């Protein structure tokens, strides 16, 4: 049996890992450790639906699309449940970290001042240099794309360095047929989604044990270096072109 099992219901998506069941809805997702589940059963009101009953009595209703699919997933989930259960039930539910209550005012202030400065500069160019403002506006847009590309490349390099030191490598299994979408289990058996990869049935991914949702497809160092170099080179050229359009055309 595969270590990742999925169920696509009505406005809900279930992912069964080796140690937890992840429930994804439009409003968010959370994971229930298998030890906190008392039973999985077909709903008495509608054979398409199922009920996940936790050890403390809490019930999660899952709307399915067909009786056969629901019955099959209930069977697979029941087989995966461990013999020893934890009576804490809903207290064991794993939810994503909450967003910080305070806004990053420092970053927002810098961004707002930068945007205002760009607008003021464009207005000044329009008043003093006429139609050259068109090139300036295009240049500012190209500059922003270059900055974003460079930031994403540097952030990925930092993640790759952190994973090389502290990461855990596991196999991720492909789910679905239309696009490369993978799931892997962390040390606690909680499934996590990973987008990308080669399209093979399984791929090796390395995740951060402190933040298990962050992972990268494990590739050779040479290929990773080539991709990073190309991305940074592209970002550099965008920054040069954007700077020339924004400032060089005026002199």
CB atoms within 10 A of CB 191: 26
Burial of 71 (0-12, 13-18, 19+ CB in 10 A): middle
| Shared domain check, 50 and 156 | no
- Of 42-56, 118-132, 179-193, 231-245, the range with the lowest mean pLDDT is 118-132
Do the domain assignments include residue 98?
A: no
Among 139, 146, 119, 142, which Cα is nearest to 249's?
139
Contacts (Cβ under 8 Å, ≥6 apart) of 40 = 50, 51, 52, 53, 73, 74, 77, 78, 81
Query: Mind listing the pLDDT tens digit for each residue in 80-102?
Result: 999 999 999 999 998 876 544 44
- The predicted model gives 64-92 an average pLDDT of 93
| Shared domain check, 27 and 129 | no
| Shared domain check, 219 and 147 | yes
| Shared domain check, 136 and 39 | no
Using pLDDT thresholds of 50, 70 and 90, give the confidence band for residue 37. Answer: very high
Do the domain assignments include residue 97?
A: no
Count of domains observed in the chain: 2
The pLDDT, as a whole number, for residue 134 is 79
| Shared domain check, 41 and 9 | yes
Distance between CA atoms of 207 and 237, rounded to whole angstroms?
32
Cα-Cα-Cα-Cα dihedral sign, residues 114, 119, 120, 124: positive
Q: Residue 219's domain spans which residues?
A: 105-250
| Shared domain check, 69 and 180 | no
Query: Mind listing the pLDDT tens digit for each residue in 170-210?
Result: 988 887 666 668 889 888 888 888 887 777 888 889 999 98
Residue 25's DSSP bridge partners are 28
Name the percent of the chain in helix, strand, coil, to the closest 5. 45, 25, 30
Q: What is the mean pLDDT of the chain?
A: 85
Contacts (Cβ under 8 Å, ≥6 apart) of 200 = 174
Q: Which residue has the higher pLDDT, 36 or 179?
A: 36
Q: Which of 61, 92, 123 is the C-terminal boundary of a domain? A: 92
- Of 6-20, 160-174, 188-202, the range with the lowest mean pLDDT is 188-202
The pLDDT, as a whole number, for residue 250 is 58
| Shared domain check, 27 and 111 | no
| Shared domain check, 165 and 73 | no
| Shared domain check, 70 and 118 | no
């Amino acid at each position: 049996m595969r270590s990742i099992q999925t169920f696509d219901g009505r406005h809900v998506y279930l992912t069964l890992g080796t140690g937890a069941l992840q429930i994804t809805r439009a409003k968010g997702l959370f994971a229930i450790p298998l030890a906190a589940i008392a039973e999985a059963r077909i709903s008495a009101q509608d054979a398409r639906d199922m009920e996940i009953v936790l050890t403390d009595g809490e019930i999660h209703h899952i709307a399915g699309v067909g009786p056969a699919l629901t019955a099959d997933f209930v069977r697979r989930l029941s087989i995966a449940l461990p013999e020893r259960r934890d009576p804490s039930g809903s207290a064991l539910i794993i939810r994503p970290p909450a967003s910080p209550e305070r806004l990053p005012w420092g970053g927002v202030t810098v961004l707002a001042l930068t945007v205002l400065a760009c607008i003021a500069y464009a207005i000044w160019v329009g008043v003093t240099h006429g139609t050259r403002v068109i090139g300036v506006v295009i240049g500012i847009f190209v500059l922003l794309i270059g900055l974003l590309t460079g930031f994403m490349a540097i952030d990925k390099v930092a993640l790759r360095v952190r994973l090389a030191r502290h990461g855990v490598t596991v196999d991720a299994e492909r789910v679905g047929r239309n696009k490369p979408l993978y799931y892997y289990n962390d040390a606690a058996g909680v499934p996590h989604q990973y987008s990308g990869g080669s399209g093979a049935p399984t791929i090796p991914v390395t995740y951060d044990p402190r933040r298990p949702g962050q992972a990268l497809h494990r590739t050779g160092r040479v290929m990773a270096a080539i991709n990073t170099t190309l991305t940074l080179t592209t970002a550099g050229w965008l920054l040069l072109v954007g700077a020339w359009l924004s400032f060089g055309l005026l002199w």
